[in-house]
Amino acid sequence: MNINKIINNTLILVAIAALAVSCKKEKLSPVPQTNLSDLVAFATPDRIEQQVNGIYAAMKNGNFLGGRGLVYNDVRGENWLNVTGNGVTALGVWNYSVVSTDNQVEGMWGAGYAAINRANVVLEGIDANAGVISAAKASAYKAEARFCRAVSYFYLTTLYGKKSYTADAGASLGIPLRLTAAKGSGGEALARATQAQVFTQILDDLTFAENNLPAKYASGDSNVVRAHKNAAIAFKTRVYLHMGNYPAVITEANKIVPATGPFTAGTTGVNHSLNANFVNVFRTPYTTTESIFSLPMTVTNQPGTQNGLSSYHNSEFGLNPAGIIADANWKSTDARKTLVTSSQRYQKYNDDVSNWVAIIRYSEVLLNLAEALARQNTVIDVRALALVNAVRQRSDATTTHTPLTQADLVNIILNERNIELLGEGHRSIDLQRLVLAFPAKGSLAAVPPSAQNYVWPIPATELLYNGLAVQN
């Protein structure tokens, strides 16, 4: 199944997010093939396949993971300065002034829950139409749906949850756990789950996905744009790292990272490894072995105006000269540094038309494992050091990290994350999981974890229509 060829013609099931308005179909009119009712949307194998593709289409919405969702998590950190002062392109996100009625707050929430609802629709539709496809195929499709639901919940709860999971072991409020499909205009009133409950569901979805997804697909690009077993494992390393569960990070990462270099995931699934050329990971054809899961953009299926990553990194925002680029150890000869322009723009993503948005890469898995190993040891962990050096030396062969203490090693790994994952929507998530303040930047003061604007408000529309929801 080639997502690039199919996604523009996805047969959309009339199932909507809880706060959306439904459309009534005329009983005497034939059902258009591009607007199938839930009575026929799962009637054939091809239609079921199209519904699964529709989940990915929802995830890559420009207001969610196709663009703005990653931008928001970047610019809240200290590495970027707003250049244009444009109020509709994340100015309020950057300066921590968003309120519950802002389009950014509403748009991210609505698009995220639309993706979750699409997954719920598919899960219920497959179960309600047993026998249309084989049991094995049904389990695989449901695993894709649950992977996508887990990823969507992770991005939403880390932004809208009252506190980071690590702040109080998940005791604080997260977001509503909507696990049934909304097919009408009314949404069920549903209280916010705790962060612990949300993360339990995320991990349950990812474990089901790992156990039921194929090890790999026959089509090369499908191993990047569709969920497979390694993708579920990789994302679990991120989730467990966010929770501060370092032994679990190690257990999961060990499934796809060998004990010694060269670090490759093995041949039983997708043979992930670091791509020799860092820049090429973000250039066509976007299907390197490092790319575990990405959301593809095409000329006919773009993230939308003022949503693309390139326009933010190369126009709306510039790199903060006091941010990570000020690090003396990030040399000008580093392949990652060569993407910084003379005007302090960052060209990791070089256009908005056909970029594939990297959601998780193998280099992140290596760094997740390195950090977990380093934090589990009171001395310098040899494997952790080898992992972080592998990531650094792929882009900068002249540098070998030589920490003197375990604490030095942890700081090196965190710094390497800040460089390697710059522009991919990680920085604010990393600061939150470590319960660190958002550092001062430009004329803005630091924002401590105790501040009201450290996390985002619950959208006004959710509070209006969901009487059980409460504000942060």
User: 280 lies in a domain?
Assistant: yes
Average pLDDT value over all residues in the chain: 91
Q: Is the pLDDT assigned to residue 97 strictly greater than 90?
A: yes
How far is Cα 122 from Cα 54, in angstroms, rounded to an integer? 9
Structure tokens at 250: 């190690």
Range of the domain at 11: 3-231+273-361+422-465
Partner residues linked to 340 by β-bridges: 346
pTM of the model as a whole: 0.93
Q: What is the pLDDT of residue 186?
A: 61
Helices (H), ranges, 313-454? 362-375, 382-395, 406-420, 427-433
User: 412 lies in a domain?
Assistant: no
Which positions ≥6 away from 215 have C-beta within 8 Å? 228, 229, 230, 268, 269, 270
User: 328 lies in a domain?
Assistant: yes
Q: What is the pLDDT of residue 32?
A: 44
User: Rounded mean pLDDT of 429-456?
Assistant: 97
How far is Cα 271 from Cα 256, in angstroms, rounded to an integer? 9
**What whole-number percentage of the chain has pLDDT above 90?**
85
Q: Indicate the number of domains in the chain.
A: 1
User: 258 lies in a domain?
Assistant: no
Q: Is the pLDDT assigned to residue 31 strictly greater than 50?
A: no
Q: What is the pLDDT of residue 39?
A: 66
User: 405 lies in a domain?
Assistant: no
How far is Cα 104 from Cα 82, in angstroms, rounded to an integer? 16
User: Rounded mean pLDDT of 250-258?
Assistant: 98
User: 246 lies in a domain?
Assistant: no
| Residue 4 binned pLDDT confidence (cut-offs 50, 70, 90) | very low
User: 199 lies in a domain?
Assistant: yes
Which residue's entry shows tokens 């390697």?
A: 420
CA proximity to 193, closest of 179, 173, 164, 167: 173
User: Rounded mean pLDDT of 262-281?
Assistant: 94
pLDDT in tens, 158-182: 999 999 999 999 999 999 999 999 8
Angle 228-230-235 (CA atoms, 0-180°, nearest 5)? 100
CATH code of the domain in which 279 resides: 1.25.40.390
Backbone angles phi and psi of 419, in degrees to 5? -80, -55
User: 415 lies in a domain?
Assistant: no
Q: Is the pLDDT assigned to residue 185 strictly greater than 70?
A: no
Q: Is the pLDDT assigned to residue 1 strictly greater than 60?
A: no
Chain centroid to CA 92: how far?
21
Are 360 and 238 contacting, i.e. CB atoms less than 8 angstroms apart? yes
Q: What is the pLDDT of residue 18?
A: 35
Are 470 and 458 contacting, i.e. CB atoms less than 8 angstroms apart? yes
How far is Cα 381 from Cα 374, in angstroms, rounded to an integer? 6
User: Rounded mean pLDDT of 299-315?
Assistant: 88
User: Rounded mean pLDDT of 187-194?
Assistant: 91
